[in-house]
Amino acid sequence: MNLLRLLARPMLAATFVVDGVDAVIHPEAHAEKFRKITPALEQAGVPQALYSNPKNLARVSGAVSAVSGLMLATGRRPRSAALTLALLNIPMTVVNNPVWAAQGGRQRKEYLGGLVRGLSLGGGLLVAAADLGGKPSWGWRLANARDHRADLRQVKARAKDHQSD
């Protein structure tokens, strides 16, 4: 792991670890966020059993956030951890910062600032999820292996033709 990843991953993950641990220990404030999105969950067709207890939902979400943050910070399955955090963070950011429903300039400014910060973190998480750590992707590796096999077949065919001459 290079120095940039060694420093950047824990920096990106820190907020999710701290917020996740807080949600597990003090779920009341976090449960309020889930109460805000209950109508959106109902409209999306999410089964009510998944969001009927906002405190438990806050604790579970917090635990997932804390564990994923620790995984990202320590470099254990960092791509999966970053993608999990992005999937948790981006929708919650949009729902918790409804700029379109702001009443007054001050509230709109607060919501807009929160939306921009949250989406910026989400973008960083998506970049971290796509980071291959300097290694080529599986798609490239498969294509490269196919190309090498095709090249090897051509070389063998040429060698066979030269032997028969």
Query: What is the per-residue pLDDT across 88-138, written as a single tens digit (0 to 9) for each?
Result: 888 888 878 888 878 889 999 999 999 999 988 888 898 888 887 767 777
Q: Check whether residue 31 and residue 51 sit in a common domain.
A: yes
Task: Tell me if the pTM is above 0.75.
Answer: no
Q: Check whether residue 16 and residue 55 sit in a common domain.
A: yes
Question: Which pLDDT does position 53 carry in this prediction?
Answer: 85
Q: End-to-end distance of the chain based on CA atoms, in angstroms? A: 53
Q: Check whether residue 145 and residue 121 sit in a common domain.
A: no
Q: Check whether residue 87 and residue 157 sit in a common domain.
A: no
Number of domains in the chain: 2
Q: What whole-number distance in Å separates Cα of residue 67 and Cα of residue 63?
A: 6
Q: Check whether residue 46 and residue 106 sit in a common domain.
A: yes
Question: Which pLDDT does position 49 carry in this prediction?
Answer: 78
Q: Check whether residue 101 and residue 150 sit in a common domain.
A: no
Mean pLDDT over each residue of the chain, to the nearest integer = 86
Question: Which pLDDT does position 14 carry in this prediction?
Answer: 93
Give the type of residue at 110. E
CB count within 10 Å of CB 69 equals 26
Question: Which pLDDT does position 158 carry in this prediction?
Answer: 86
Q: Check whether residue 81 and residue 141 sit in a common domain.
A: no
Tokens of 41: 């969950």
Let me know: does 94 contact 40? Beta carbons within 8 Å. Answer: no
Whether the predicted pLDDT of 144 surpasses 70: yes
Question: Which pLDDT does position 110 carry in this prediction?
Answer: 92
Q: Check whether residue 63 and residue 141 sit in a common domain.
A: no
Let me know: does 42 contact 34? Beta carbons within 8 Å. Answer: no
For the stretch 27-36, pLDDT in tens is: 988 888 777 7
Q: What CA–CA distances, in Å, run from 149 to 129, 139, 143, 145?
A: 31, 15, 10, 6
Let me know: does 99 contact 115? Beta carbons within 8 Å. Answer: yes
Q: Check whether residue 87 and residue 105 sit in a common domain.
A: yes
User: How are the residues of the chain apportioned to helix, strand and coil, as percentages rounded to the nearest 5?
Assistant: 85, 0, 15
Provide the residue range defining the domain that includes 147.
136-165
Q: Check whether residue 12 and residue 67 sit in a common domain.
A: yes
Q: Check whether residue 101 and residue 30 sit in a common domain.
A: yes
Question: Which pLDDT does position 109 carry in this prediction?
Answer: 93
Q: Check whether residue 94 and residue 24 sit in a common domain.
A: yes
